[in-house]
A and B are shown apart, each in its own frame.
Chain A
Amino acid sequence: MVVKMEVDGKDPKAVKKDLMWIEKYRPTSMDDVLSHQDTVLTLKKLIDGKRLPHLLFYGPPGTGKTSTILACAREMYGKTLGSMVLELNASDDRGINVVRDQIKTFASTKRIFSSGVKLIILDEADAMTSAAQMALRRVIEKYTQNTRFCMICNYVNKIIPALQSRCTRFRFGPLKREDLIARLGEICKIENVSIEDEAISALVDLSEGDMRKCLNILQSTDMAEAAKNGRITAAAVYANTGNPTPAEIEECLQWLLNDDFNTCSRKLSGLLEKGLALSDIIREIHKFMMLSSLPTKARIFLYKELGEIEFMLSKGVHEKLPLNALVGVFKATAMLAVEEGQGATG
């Protein structure tokens, strides 16, 4: 698949020069949407058959929900898009009455030039109060003749069941690794970014399937590295995001498992002074420890305590005590593991 973002006939650079990358590389047609081929195929069939139901798109950030519905709208309406689509989001006042009035006005206006159903996009639907959602049930039914609703949200459990049941649900999961890699490669070519393969794979690791996050990290790393005129390396990507590299985490674990308390405390403090965040270190350590072969009790203890330290940090306390508590947790875990081992053999 090629990236074709340009408005027909015009030089894409001229039109889109002043856009940040996340907007510049927003898919414009349904075929440009990555990783959700099944959803796109289904939607296309429904549109072609003029059988479009009410829709509910949900999933984590940066996976293409907004882009997909906008591309759908473009496909359905072409030039008449402006008069056929109403978008409401949480920054609009969505008290029940406002919603009802706006929707009513929009849905009941006569269609002079075009035929077919109108589309109302309720982005950020998870931010609507449940009272407003209740009221929406009736509104949806009332205008179902000539209007389709598409609700979009990150947190599907914040949508009341009665609304969910009126819609066909599509989940937008994290994007696939190989899709991200391919698209990033194309974008780097267009933007003249020289980047190593390992750096792309670091980007993808850090993004957790969020394409927008990928693009933001890529653009900010490019901005920081442009002055140096070198190739972007994986180390530069990690440094730019302030994330610990896998090597640094392995080193941390060596200290935590082998050094005495005070030495370990000093070494970890040094790492934080270099600019790493303790909460990032703990998150990564957690991933590593999942692969270890700790006995059950010690493992339960470790996860419970790691969770607790992470929670403390989220309250914004200084890192000093949580850091030393982390050292303590590893000392205690090691002791529990030994004790458990003796219990088993003895």
Chain B
Amino acid sequence: MDIGDRASVLSTPWVEKYRPVKIKDVAHQTEVVAALEQAVERGGGNLPHLLFYGPPGTGKTSLALALVREIFPKEILSQRVLELNASDERGIRVVREKIKGFAQGAVGQAKVKDGKTIPSFKVIILDEADAVTGEAQTALRRTMETYSTVTRFVLICNYISRIIAPLASRCAKFRFQPLPTEVSFNRLSMICKSEQVTASEDLLKLIITRTNGDLRKALMTLQSASRMVPHGSEIGDKEIALASGEVPQELLERFRSAMFADSSFENVQSVVDDVVLGGYPADGLLHQLCDLLVEEDYAELDELQKSALIMKMARAESCLADGASERLQLLDVGARGMYISKSRENSSSLFKV
């Protein structure tokens, strides 16, 4: 194997390499898998428009791709399927030019080939549809109806609230569920075996908790961790911590004691600096802190103090999602934490109406 060859092997992302191929290979999404298998069996004819939604890395894109591969033979796949995702433009022009043009075209009668019915429609997969502008979504309303005999839409998104109601109403909606630990675990062990990666059971479970049920993230973490150790030797906690970008335990501990034990704003400030300068994600820190607070025997704060702090943290995360500064949000949480930990007797002052 020469070097060029080896490089290309190494760089195939496992996320692509181990994408489920058949509809039934998509794990755990039983309702939608059953529905689509049924539709394919019946020849696909009366398939409704579909809307797949749910958390990242749960198989939405994989299932949409598997569906079109099962209804159309390879040769005509490119004529029958238009796939648009976030890398394409998402404005109204795409709807008027690309989507409408493709949707209009006729495709002729349903045919039977090799004992399978090829339905008489095309499919437009609109991946990451929650990023499509409101104006463009509005313009899709009538297009989805007018060409429904010749074109079916598959909309895919994480946040259904970003799809306007009239579009959601036009689709059969399927929510993709977060993958339970054992499903992700089986997938990861299978991949470890086929890639000859050595990792203990506990380690795989650690990856899964750290990635919050997002199998794509878990796969990427595993792959990058596997590159950090020499081929064949075992992956350890250290590699996972590095690969998943989690905040080191030591920093978390310092943040906690700065707020509750030392009650020192300087200390809070210095941890926050270390977190931000170290390039650790602020929302990651908030999540890990939350896990700590709801641990079985955690007793540093009483119930109301805990409530007040977590409500504050949730608000900070939401501000971060809007693009707020990581440093300011963490300082805000830190300062609030100090105040809360001091007001054990007087907790009603923590909640304003």
Contact = CB atoms under 8 A, between A and B. Distances in A.
Given A91-B143, A216-B171, A332-B307, A23 B149 contact: yes
A301 B162 CA distance: 27
Interface in A181-226: 210, 212-213, 216-217, 219-220, 223-226
Nearest to A93: B96
Nearest to B100: A91
B294 A265 contact: yes
Nearest to A123: B142
B304 A336 contact: no
B141 A90 contact: yes
A325 B314 contact: yes
A297 interface: yes
Contact of A261 (B165, B291, B306): B306
A17 B165 contact: no
A309 to B, nearest CB: 7
A220 B141 contact: no
A179 interface: no
Interface of B: 31-32, 34-39, 45-49, 95-96, 99-100, 110, 119-121, 130, 135, 138-143, 145-146, 148-149, 152, 158-159, 161-162, 165-166, 168-175, 177-178, 180, 212-213, 283, 286-287, 290-291, 293-296, 298, 303-304, 306-308, 310-311, 313-315, 317-318, 321-322, 347-348, 350-351, 353
Nearest to B172: A220
A66 B196 CA distance: 59
Interface residues of A, number: 78
B48 A20 contact: yes
A5 interface: no
B46 A154 contact: no
Contacts of B139: 89-91, 124, 127
B177 A275 contact: yes
Contacts of A220: 35, 48, 172-174
Contacts of B286: 321
Nearest to B48: A20
Contacts of B95: 91
Q: Which 7 A-B pairs have the closest CB atoms?
A: A328-B307, A242-B175, A275-B177, A223-B35, A220-B172, A325-B314, A89-B142
A20 B46 contact: yes
A22 interface: yes
B170 A22 contact: yes
Interface in A209-261: 210, 212-213, 216-217, 219-220, 223-228, 239-242, 260-261
Contacts of B119: 18
29 contacts: A18-B46, A20-B152, A23-B148, A91-B99, A91-B142, A124-B139, A124-B141, A126-B138, A127-B139, A154-B166, A216-B171, A216-B173, A220-B174, A225-B34, A226-B38, A240-B35, A242-B173, A265-B294, A273-B180, A311-B318, A312-B317, A315-B159, A316-B158, A318-B212, A320-B290, A325-B314, A328-B307, A332-B307, A332-B350
Nearest to A219: B48
A241 B168 CA distance: 12
Contacts of A327: 307, 310
A92 interface: yes
Nearest to B351: A332
A127 B142 CA distance: 12
A312 B177 contact: no
A96 to B, nearest CB: 16
Contact of B290 (A62, A90, A321, A335): A321
Given A90-B138, A321-B290, 15 more contacts: A17-B46, A18-B119, A20-B48, A61-B168, A90-B142, A93-B96, A210-B169, A216-B172, A217-B172, A227-B38, A274-B177, A300-B353, A315-B321, A317-B314, A332-B350
Contacts of B322: 315
Given A20-B49, A329-B307, A332-B351, A66 B145 contact: yes
B166 A61 contact: yes
A170 interface: no
A21 B310 contact: no
Contact of B169 (A61, A93, A260, A316): A61
Contacts of B347: 335
B88 to A, nearest CB: 17
B175 A241 contact: yes
B96 A324 contact: no
A335 B348 contact: yes
Contacts of A92: 96
Contacts of B177: 242, 274-275
B135 A262 contact: no
B138 A262 contact: no
Contact of A266 (B146, B169, B294): B294
Contacts of B351: 301, 332, 335-336
B161 A279 contact: yes
Interface in A116-174: 123-124, 126-127, 154
A45 to B, nearest CB: 28
B34 to A, nearest CB: 5
A322 interface: yes
A241 B314 CA distance: 27
A24 interface: yes
A328 B308 contact: yes
A314 B158 CA distance: 10
Interface in A281-320: 297, 300-301, 304-305, 308-309, 311-318, 320
Contact of B348 (A22, A242, A317, A336): A336
B310 A262 contact: no
A331 B175 contact: no
Contacts of B315: 308, 312, 325
A7 interface: no
Given A18-B149, A312-B315, A328-B310, A60 B165 contact: yes
A17 to B, nearest CB: 6
A272 interface: yes
A19 interface: yes
